[in-house]
Structure 1
């Protein structure tokens, strides 16, 4: 496995990370959701590794007739980035359910 840094690959990597930032992927929840910090950091790590894997990783195999397994790393990277988005969606759903249950408790308590 080797890293190939070309302007196009670095540009795609920066665009992926900027898009993740614009979609709120790096906004770690706080204020009452401290127990979700670790899973949120795992999703950030999964997206970061997936984007690096899909953009700048090359893997050459063989001695005489060399082959590049880059397509495998691109597929794994896209799956990692998709998994990170799904994981963050689940975490956001969890936060929404928690807020709704707290609102129902406030209504039941007459507050």
Structure 2
């Protein structure tokens, strides 16, 4: 596995990370919902790793007839990005449902 930094790939990575910031993905819960900070951190980590996987990772295999597994890393990255959005949606719904009783149930 290697990282390939081309202007297009880095631009897409920066656009993904900026878009996530614009949608409020990096705004950690505060106040009575501070118990969800670790879960929120995992969703942010999943998004960032998925973005890196989908944009700048290359993986060449084989010695004579080399193949690139980049397509698999793109699919994995898109799945991680989608999972991160779904996870944050679940956390936001949990914060809308109620107070401490829903957080302490974890």
- 1:1-111 to 2 correspondences below 5 Å: 1-98=1-98
Q: TM-score, normalised by structure 1?
A: 0.88
Looking at CA atoms only, which structure, 1 or 2, has the larger radius of gyration?
1
Q: Partners in 1 of 2:49 and 2:98 — Cα distance?
A: 30
Q: Looking at both structures, which has the greater relative contact order when contacts are Cα pairs under 8 Å and sequence separation is at least 6? A: 2
The 4+ residue runs of structure 1 with deviation greater than 2 A are none
Indicate the RMSD between aligned Cα atoms, in angstroms. Answer: 1.0
Q: Deviations over 1:48-82 (max 9, x none)?
A: 00000000000000000000000000000000000
Unaligned runs of 5+ in 1: 102-111
1-side partners of 2:19 and 2:98: how far apart?
Answer: 27
Q: Partners in 2 of 1:49 and 1:92 — Cα distance?
A: 21
Between the aligned partners of 1:47 and 1:83, the Cα distance in structure 2 is: 8
Deviation at residue 34 of structure 1 after TM alignment: 1.0
CA distance in 2, matches of 1:78, 1:20: 14
